[in-house]
Amino acid sequence: MGTRAGPPEGTPAPGDVVVITGASSGIGRATAHALAGNGARLVLASRAPESLGDVVAECTALGARAVAVPTDVTREADVEALMEAALRAYGRVDAWIGCASSYSYGTFEDTPSAVFRRIVETTLFGQVHGARAVLPHFRARGRGTLVLVGSVFSKVSAPYISPYVTGKFGLLGFAEVLRHEYRDAPQISICAVLPATIDTPIYQHAANYTGREIHPLPPVVAPERVARAIVRTVRRPRPVRVVGRLQGAAIPLSAFLPGLYARCIHPLMDILALRRGSTSPAAGTVFAPDPSTNRVTGGWRTAGALRSWPYGLRSARRRKSRPSHAGAGEPAPRRGTGV
């Protein structure tokens, strides 16, 4: 896929068949829009059939053909069925883009075991299931592109997000192993896209066991920027592509000055990611989707969200130790606590 003639560099060939998991919200939904505008034929997957119907309509309005396949990526049988549906619809798959992910805030001790496991199952094993479903097809055809959407947290760590970091670190290692194993198939590309903080509903969807409202670490990047990077990766594959320059700079900082990074990241999370207010333990959308909150952006780049940043700086000195919470909790409030 990466070498055939066709459209300008950075755009997929019209008619390419692309599967997107996590397509109902955030980066996955933005990527569906971007690929639809380039004439791709799409297979859209997520846990929320209602939201997928909306995304299909949006992509159709952009002139693309799209089909929806409700899929829980933590279930390998669902992902196998997704691949079969793609082949029934179009006869082949040219690219598979894994965007499904889930998030939580809380210390490791306060994060329930079931929540930790489910986030790793979604973030890491959901991608493993996708690779297992599509790579034999790529091998048989002799070509194809697998794009695994990781995170800057695939290369650096932070407190309060242990299951997410665990899954994203594992995902990057998985991608590197696959690249070794597919060196004999130069037209099969294994790519990782590592976004920084992106303005998506994943933070509203996140489980929360901190007792406080949560906020993404600034600066917050538009999801359309990640979508453009994914589209470029489909057409011109590269092993790793980082999206977000400022937070991307944390990668070499952590690698070459690990002590400095460690001294900075904890207070940054305390000051900027945990905000005023009191919340009850909540599992967010870790176990079940909330279609009413599925959209491209989370509203974190609005003027109101931006104005809230200085409060975190002012209030950090006044914070007392946060209460410990255990248990999966009830569904999260709309703002700051759960997907």
Q: What is the mean pLDDT of the chain?
A: 88
What does the pLDDT read at residue 305? Answer: 52
Domain ranges of the chain: 17-317
How many separate helices (H) and strands (E) can be counted in the chain? 13, 11
Would you tell me which CATH number, out of the four given (1.10.150.20, 3.20.20.100, 3.40.50.720, 3.40.50.300), belongs to the domain 17-317? 3.40.50.720
What does the pLDDT read at residue 310? Answer: 39
Q: How far apart are CA 205 and CA 91, in angstroms?
A: 35
What does the pLDDT read at residue 11? Answer: 55
What does the pLDDT read at residue 304? Answer: 52
278-306: per-residue pLDDT in tens? Answer: 899 999 999 999 999 999 999 998 745 54
CA-wise closest residue to 2 among 196, 237, 168: 237
Mean pLDDT of 12-30: 93
Per-residue pLDDT for 328 more than 70? no
What angle separates helix 26-37 from helix 223-235, to the nearest 10 degrees?
A: 50
DSSP string, 7-70: SPTTSPPTT-EEEEESTTSHHHHHHHHHHHHTT-EEEEEES-HHHHHHHHHHHHHTT-EEEEEE
CA distances from 82 to 31, 140, 248, 259 (A): 18, 18, 33, 44
52-109: per-residue pLDDT in tens? Answer: 999 999 999 999 999 999 999 999 999 999 999 999 999 999 999 999 999 999 999 9
Higher model confidence: residue 138 or residue 15?
138
What does the pLDDT read at residue 12? Answer: 64
Instruction: Kindly state the tokens that stand for 303.
Output: 């003027």
Amino acid residing at 157: S
What does the pLDDT read at residue 14? Answer: 72
What does the pLDDT read at residue 322? Answer: 40
Q: How far apart are CA 222 and CA 225, in angstroms?
A: 6
What does the pLDDT read at residue 276? Answer: 84
170-205: per-residue pLDDT in tens? Answer: 999 999 999 999 999 999 999 999 999 999 999 999
Is 0.75 topped by the overall pTM? Answer: yes
What does the pLDDT read at residue 79? Answer: 98
